[in-house]
Structure 1
Amino acid sequence: MAAITKQTLPPVGHAIAGSAGAMFALALVYPLDIIKTRIQVQAKHDKVDDSEHYKSAWDGICQIVAKEGLSGLYAGLGSSLLGTASTNFTYFYCYSFIREQYNQKFNNARGGTLSTGMELLLGAAAGALTTLITTPVSVVTTRQQTLPAEERQDVIQTCQTIIAEEGVAGLWRGIRPSLVLCVNPAITYGSFEKIKQLVLHLLQTSIMTPGAAFGVGALSKTLATIITYPYIMAKVRMQWKPSKEMQGKVDAYKSAYDVLARVIKQEGFFGWYKGMSTQITKAVLSQALLFMMKDIFTNYTILAYALLKNAKK
């Protein structure tokens, strides 16, 4: 029986390795995730104390630690890890499966090499399927990250509150901008594959080192984040719920277009990119760590598959 390699590892193996790498990366950069989410929902017209607004990532960290302690930097970590695991497992499974099926049916003559356009198309298809499945976890995580400690609930209670106040559809709030943002992982993974091929060619090697994978992952994620950031901010504001103290002081957003229109009217064009530096830092670090750790976890997954096959003999 032929040995299992990265090329022959089944989609579920890639999904396990990808989700494990993503969870590891998120755990390391989670305080930045909290900060970028809270900055994204802050608006100029909010009639709240200025101390509630973060001037920078460091200012946000200091304010959260002062008010909530170190644990405040990890509010909603459980649901966020669950969301990251489910999102990345679903995405890597769908992407690997769709890519494998496409290569088998239409691409054998080219040895499995895909054009940039097809990489983006397959990535977008996998992203759309993933978004439809995992948006409820994203909504719950946003609520847990942005509500004050005294109003914060666990995952089940948050789901129950959303359903009671907004109906089941509330769990899919922000689904339209989320679907538009399917282009983000498509750009990320599509550009990663192309940049990776270029780097391997320039280095005249067939093996991507963890350091090189980190650099290529950082570059590809930066590109994707800059292109899609306004919709990232719009999606977060759509999923956000004002605290009890703020209710009546801010008007609920009706759509992603409503978010973008109100932000540009009140804060100008650069309001669309509020908090982008923190978003990029968090996204680049977590994505680069994911790409670096996915290769490592993939090797462990291959080893696990080999051990299971040997155990069955």
Structure 2
Amino acid sequence: MAGQSKPTLSPWGTAVAGATGAVLANAMVYPLDLVKTKLQVQVKSSSETKSEGSKETVHYKSTLDAINKIVEKEGVEGLYSGITGALLGVASTNFAYFYWYSVVRTLYMASEKVPKPPGTAIELSLGAVAGAVAQIFTIPVSVITTRQQTQPKSEKKGLIDTGREVVDSEDGWSGLWRGLKASLILVINPAITYGAYQRLKDILFPGKNSLKPWEAFLLGALSKALATIATQPLIVAKVGLQSRPPPGREGKPFKTFGEVMRYIIKNEGALSLFKGIGPQIVKGLLVQGLLMMTKERIEISFVLLFAYLRKLRQQKLGKVVDSAASSAKASLPATLK
């Protein structure tokens, strides 16, 4: 009905809905995630080219070229290498993000001293705070997943063994938080995404509380495309930090995302900071669109489920009360009945 607002979920319910939607969306387009990581982590220089054969290095020219070479060398299952860790990371990151975003936005809206609805700057700030908290707790899974996605076929390891490899490196346990600074800076990506989502929603569908699936998909896709273009160099640098160092580094890992960016520019040119942007955007468009579309549906399903459970609980409580009343009445002396 017009003017009827959509029932709200608790931060926990919003987080579960967001994480579920993210896992479903990412599972559907996982091969694109694997390919964009492989494209972003490769750094090719003349010295590396000469030794590619000995180091079993495969260089990819494009998204399609990467898919063909992976399938040729590892089979179709190669396109799903590291998917367990990836989906675990997606679930934990999105759960944490949606939970904290819901919490900070609820606190903001509850305050009587701030303007409502929040402007673009405030939406970005709320998203950044939520994203920063989420990254601190979930980045180890991201590091392990990136390592798994970039392992040669002859060195494939499971989630636990890859984690041990990271811990056993020169960084020790701190290696699980490699790229944290870049990740904290990259909180502007979801901040831009969800800030843009809210603003585009107000512009394209003003006053509408419940979106149709195609409307949520459109808003999610547009907002993610804007965020990806703005942050691609940092995304490439973060992947470089979390993966194994390229052959030209002779096993020496990068220390900062600035060092990664300088190395890429020196060997491949400034435009290479945007390598992998094709599958990154396509993956982002599909994932964000599917995520927001499924999240909207899941939230509605959760609202209906919780309402049904409350009704059952009330009915059960009513039966218990009636039963207690009947028992009490039966125990009374006949003269008091």
> Could you report, residue by residue, the CA deviation over 1:189-231 in whole angstroms, capped at 9, with x for unpaired residues?
0000000111113xx7554211111111111111100111000
Q: Deviation at 1:30?
A: 0.3
Paired position in structure 2 for 1:175: 180
C-alpha RMSD over aligned residues:
1.9
- 2:205 is paired with a residue of what secondary structure? helix
Paired position in structure 2 for 1:291: 292
> Could you report, residue by residue, the CA deviation over 1:34-72 in whole angstroms, capped at 9, with x for unpaired residues?
000000011022442497111111111111111111110
Which residues of 2 match residues 99-138 of structure 1 at below 5 A? Answer: 99-106=105-112, 112-138=116-142
Compared CA separation, residues 257 and 51, structure 1 to 2 (3 A): closer
Q: Deviation at 1:266?
A: 1.8
| Aligned structure 1 segments of 4 or more residues deviating by more than 4 angstroms | 246-251
Name stretches of at least 5 consecutive residues in structure 2 with no aligned partner: 315-337
Compared CA separation, residues 248 and 267, structure 1 to 2 (3 A): closer
Q: Deviation at 1:114?
A: 0.9
Higher RCO (C-alpha 8 Å, min separation 6): 1
> Could you report, residue by residue, the CA deviation over 1:107-155 in whole angstroms, capped at 9, with x for unpaired residues?
68x5x51111100000000000001010000001001111023312211
Cα distance in 2, alignment partners of residues 51 and 77 from structure 1? 22
Q: Deviation at 1:252?
A: 2.4
Compared CA separation, residues 200 and 107, structure 1 to 2 (3 A): farther
Match of 2:66 among 60, 65, 71: 60
Cα distance in 2, alignment partners of residues 247 and 227 from structure 1? 28
TM-score between the two structures when normalised by the length of structure 2: 0.85
Paired position in structure 1 for 2:79: 73
Instruction: Give the residue type in structure 2 aligned to 1:180.
Output: I
Q: How many residues align?
A: 303
- 1:254 is paired with a residue of what secondary structure? coil
Instruction: Give the residue type in structure 2 aligned to 1:97.
Output: V
Cα distance in 1, alignment partners of residues 6 and 99 from structure 2? 14
Cα distance in 2, alignment partners of residues 66 and 51 from structure 1? 15
Match of 1:141 among 145, 160, 166: 145
Cα distance in 2, alignment partners of residues 205 and 117 from structure 1? 22
Paired position in structure 2 for 1:37: 37
Name stretches of at least 5 consecutive residues in structure 1 with no aligned partner: none
- Whether the aligned pair in 1 keeps the contact of 2:128 and 2:187 (CA below 8 Å) is yes
Q: Deviation at 1:106?
A: 3.8
- Whether the aligned pair in 2 keeps the contact of 1:177 and 1:256 (CA below 8 Å) is yes
The more displaced of 301-310 and 216-225 is 301-310
The more displaced of 296-305 and 140-149 is 296-305
Q: Deviation at 1:247?
A: 8.3
Q: Deviation at 1:308?
A: 2.4
Instruction: Give the residue type in structure 2 aligned to 1:62.
Output: N
TM-score between the two structures when normalised by the length of structure 1: 0.92
Q: How many percent identity over aligned positions?
A: 44
